């Protein structure tokens, strides 16, 4: 870094552009699926590290929520992060299918 001061920023810039081109080429769903596969392999190989990363991500999300509390509600809704804690409520297994009502209405017509 002392001898070639522009080498590190150039590497970071090129890596950013390569990642952006890959994201735009593959699309959101394929990139999200690839990230989910990489995360599951990481969590299977190093469960303690994965728990630490998840805990740090949850702490970051809580800090970010504190920042968003100072912003107008309209802005904060767009900038909100997902809840990374493991105790987030999800849909129960016996929840009714939301599309059942629409399917029944289409069968009547």
Q: What is the pLDDT of residues 11-55, one digit of tens each?
A: 999 999 999 999 999 998 999 899 999 999 999 999 999 999 999
Residue 94 has pLDDT above 80, yes or no: no
Among 67, 45, 40, 43, which Cα is nearest to 53's? 43
For the chain, report the end-to-end CA distance as a whole number of angstroms: 71
Indicate the pTM of the whole model.
Answer: 0.57
């Amino acid at each position: 870094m002392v001898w070639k001061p522009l080498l590190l920023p150039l590497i970071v810039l090129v890596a950013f552009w390569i990642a952006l081109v890959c994201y735009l080429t593959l699309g959101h769903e394929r990139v999200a699926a690839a990230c989910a596969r990489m995360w599951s392999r990481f969590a299977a190989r190093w469960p303690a590290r994965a728990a630490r990363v998840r805990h740090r991500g949850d702490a970051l999300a809580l800090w970010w929520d504190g920042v968003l509390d100072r912003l107008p509600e309209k802005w904060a809704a767009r900038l909100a992060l997902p809840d990374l804690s493991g105790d987030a409520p999800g849909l129960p297994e016996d929840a009714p299918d939301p599309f059942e009502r629409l399917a029944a209405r289409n069968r009547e017509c």
